[in-house]
Structure 1
Amino acid sequence: MTDAMYTPNFDTQEFLAHHWQKQPLVIKGAFAHFQDPIAPDELAGLACEEEIASRIVLTKKDNWEIFQGPIEDYSPFGDANWQLLVQAVNHWYPDVEPLVNAFRFIPDWRFDDLMVSYATPGGGVGPHIDNYDVFLLQGEGRRRWKVGAKGQYSPRGGDTHTALIDDFEPILDVVLEAGDMLYIPPGFPHRGETLETALSYSIGFRAPSQQELFSSIADHLIDTNGGNKRFTSNQEPASPGLLSVEQQAGMLALVSEILSQPDHYQTVLGQTLSQNRFELDLAEQGESYSQEELMEALEDGACLQRIGGLKVIRLEGDKHLRLFINGEIYDFDAVDDDDADELDDKLMLLANAFSFEGKQALDLCQREAIGQYFIWLLNSGYAYLA
């Protein structure tokens, strides 16, 4: 499988300027000569696994029935009107990595997962609205997609816990074939219908909500026993049953003060946005690696490879020398000041690269701090030697 096969066949910068988070877009031939990086039977194999999130959606007259995985027997579903969906395939199946890399014109912190679906004719999930950006890339087979305008839609059957809605008037109605892609920003209703047995790839990007950010900040303050400053005021209202406007403003100012301190908000953002919603496939850990063993392996031509789906994030303007990895903080602050500037550049490389080949890895390991970081990655199951 070559990376070249998964080179976007469209202007990504123009896309970001004019369509990203604004309007749905059909890109015919988004990937030229597209070939599926996974076969249907391999996808079915992943759906057997307990730790992998999968489901079957069965299309019934005017309704959909969902069967949660693991799924081992497909015979009850027949040969039409159902769809298998497997989440976070990029965590478990390394051959899809070149396809995921093709979407790194959008930063890693936004990337949610690569979901792959196998659908029989008539299979689909019904009209629904997502709260994230999604690229729907067609593999083998053909699917018809309809997209509606943003607006107020009633949840299907009055159930506010479902993303399904009553139907909508389409502004886009398109048939996708291998290599074609549909981009849908949050809030646009859409529905897919399979015309002939199809593999489809859903590349999802998500950003935090106010609720999620406040919840993360509260967790951080509790964990660090921070945010203990109490409200004080210079004067009290004349009426005993009243909370004055000044006091309301003063309490909100206390909250704003916490939110304006980088030590709080940068830590919260780094930890929250480097975490994954789906389980990672941690590398098997044998004995703990030593610096000497790592250097020997690299000299023998080994390559240090990050596991699929692992997020490594550097915060611009962070006064600490640190990386955020899957919700954890890896600190380089103890390094000599003379080395700090040079190391700052290296941290960006450590965040951007998925793998470190022999010579490059050996050069990086000349810095003891980076060698120790590689050992920590290996011993945490976040990387392996290939």
Structure 2
Amino acid sequence: MHVNKPLTLLGGISPAEFMSTYWQRKPLLVRQAFPQFKALLSRSELFDLAQHNEVESRLVMGTNGGQRDWRMQRGPFKRRAIPKLTERDWTLLVQGVDLHDDRMAALMHQFRFIPDARLDDVMVSYASDGGGVGPHFDSYDVFLLQAHGQRRWRIGRQKDLSLVPEMPLKILAHFRPEQDWVLDPGDMLYLPPRYAHEGIAQGECMTYSVGFRVPQTGDLARELLVRLSEGAEDTAGGDLYKDASQAAVSHPAQVPQGLNEFARLALQKSLKDPKALQRALGEYLTEPKANVYFEMGDAPHQLKSVYLDRRSKMMYDAQHIFLNGESWRAAGKDAVLMRQLANQRCLSAEDLAKASADAVSLLLEWCDDGWLHAGA
């Protein structure tokens, strides 16, 4: 992607300008970001997805009045459990639709001027007239694309983020909107993290939310330490704790200072190799979500072209290639080829002609795993 080329998607500005001016800073409303846009997923297709156990879905209902009485249920939902289309004030939210539909995955890939390490998923919100999830804020960036019908968005940058107590949803207690728009199909609104907003359907309405993952220090540290521990024995040498100089103690419950020091050194050794930390981070960032399963494929005898499965996550750093939570050391021409696959998510016959026998063998293995597919 040419990051300095203006995009209709961003209202005629370039990805470079968007990232330096708007990203995590201020909202951007783009009229006709997708001109003459038609919903990629029909209502019946969305309702069908919500019936599956492996698809995360929620049903939100609220009653208009001075204070909404919010209710929320988690799926899966049989069709009869979804309210009638003529009923007001309900919303069906289906998460990770890009994992189940190639069209939605292709939509999300149009936002790859932002690193894959930050892209999360596409959520589809279907609402009847008056439906919404109340005034709230998200901890992550989001692009809100109107797919069908109209939705009224009210937004505000407020410091008071206190919530209404004893609610099944995180509803802002004191929402103070500053701007107000009605979005039509193809219109899109970008909001930075913690920007207060409320969307209300005006008639039957469908909105696509392209969301981003936000690693938190505690979660990230825990995941990395677990992955680093898998190779800690090799890294740290597998040394055993020795305390030949330990004196007899009158306070047996006290942790010995020598053991504290041994623990500190063990952790220090496991973190000493920067490549180990990079490996752990890449594996964590490409780990498939818990509800993602790949079907074993039949690798062809000869690869003409290949493309990544829509659910596959592939990234790289200076020394490694990462795919679906696993890592490989890579260098030279094969590394260049694998990085191309990660960036473009496909390789042509001309590209594959440059691959070594080891690289082809690895690609065939990925085809067997269902992570990669052979093209015609």
Q: Give me the TM-score of the superposition, normalised by structure 2.
A: 0.82
Kept in 2: contact 1:145–1:190 (CA 8 A): yes
Tell me whether 1:135 sits opposite 2:143 in the alignment.
yes
- Partners of 2:8 and 2:46 in 1: CA distance: 19
1:55 to 39, 54, 58: 58
Alpha-carbon offset, residue 76 of structure 1: 5.7
Alpha-carbon offset, residue 209 of structure 1: 1.0
1:369/1:148 Cα in 2 relative to 1: closer, same or farther (>3 Å)?
same
- Partners of 1:113 and 1:100 in 2: CA distance: 7
- Partners of 2:321 and 2:69 in 1: CA distance: 46
User: How do residues 1-386 of structure 1 correspond to structure 2 at under 5 angstroms?
Assistant: 9-11=11-13, 12-61=15-64, 62-74=68-80, 77-78=83-84, 79=86, 80-157=88-165, 163-225=170-232, 259=271, 261-277=273-289, 279-282=291-294, 284-287=295-298, 289=299, 293-295=300-302, 298=304, 303-315=305-317, 317-318=318-319, 322-332=320-330, 340-357=331-348, 359-360=349-350, 362-364=352-354, 366-386=355-375
Question: What residue ranges of structure 2 are gaps of 5+ in the alignment?
Answer: 1-6, 242-259
- Partners of 2:274 and 2:353 in 1: CA distance: 33
Q: What one-letter code is carried by the residue in structure 2 that aligns with 1:356?
A: L
Q: What one-letter code is carried by the residue in structure 1 that aligns with 2:328?
A: Y
- Partners of 2:60 and 2:166 in 1: CA distance: 20
- Partners of 1:156 and 1:82 in 2: CA distance: 19
The sequence identity of aligned pairs, in percent, is: 30
Q: What one-letter code is carried by the residue in structure 1 that aligns with 2:315?
A: I
- Partners of 1:384 and 1:343 in 2: CA distance: 19
Q: What one-letter code is carried by the residue in structure 1 that aligns with 2:108?
A: V
Instruction: Give the number of the structure whose residues are more often helix, by fraction.
Output: 1
Alpha-carbon offset, residue 278 of structure 1: 5.3
Runs (4+) of structure 1 moved beyond 4 Å? 5-9, 226-230, 251-260
Q: Give me the TM-score of the superposition, normalised by structure 1.
A: 0.80
Aligned length in residues: 346
CA-atom RMSD, angstroms?
3.1
* Superimposed CA distance per residue, residues 323-364 of structure 1 (whole angstroms, 9 cap, x where no aligned partner): 1112111344xxxxxxx432332232021122234x235414
Kept in 2: contact 1:88–1:278 (CA 8 A): no
Name 1:237's counterpart in structure 2: none
- Name the stretch that deviates more: 375-384 or 197-206: 375-384
- Partners of 1:30 and 1:182 in 2: CA distance: 9
Alpha-carbon offset, residue 53 of structure 1: 1.0
Alpha-carbon offset, residue 92 of structure 1: 0.8
Alpha-carbon offset, residue 215 of structure 1: 0.6
Question: What residue ranges of structure 1 are gaps of 5+ in the alignment?
Answer: 231-247, 333-339
